Amino acid sequence: MNTGEDTQGLRKIMDLTRLISITILVLHIYLACYRAFEYWGFTASLTDRLMGNIAKTGLFSGLLKPKLAALVCLIISLIGLKGKKDQKIQKKSIIACLLCGLLCNSVIPLPP
């Protein structure tokens, strides 16, 4: 049987994995757009050293690795959740969201 403590602990684990995925994406954005942050004056020597050590781990060596790591963390967080079926969702809205995502992905060029 599931007790309240079990479900509360599971919820905390799911929240932690979501937080990890968001953190990975924020660090990736900071490393990928470092020149912009430097231009705006949002860098410091402490964060530069910290991000240099984090970048050496290899997770942030490409553009896809951190995004895939964040996606894996999100998938893990979704495994523990009970889904609710929504009868109001339609196939047209799903297709529209997918097309918007694909359009944004193809329109925004990747840096060389």
How many angstroms separate the CA atoms of 94 and 87, rounded? 13
Q: How far apart are CA 58 and CA 45, in angstroms?
A: 21
Give 71's contacts (C-beta < 8 A, 6+ positions apart). 21
Counting Cβ atoms within 10 Å, is residue 65 exposed (0-12), middle (13-18) or buried (19+)? Answer: middle
> How confident is the prediction along the chain (112 residues), in pLDDT tens digits per residue?
567 777 788 888 888 999 999 999 999 999 888 898 889 988 889 988 998 898 888 888 888 889 899 999 988 888 877 766 767 778 888 899 888 878 876 666 656 5
In the chain, where the domains are located: 4-82
Half-sphere exposure of 89 (CA within 13 A, CB side): 8
Distance from chain centroid for Cα 112: 22
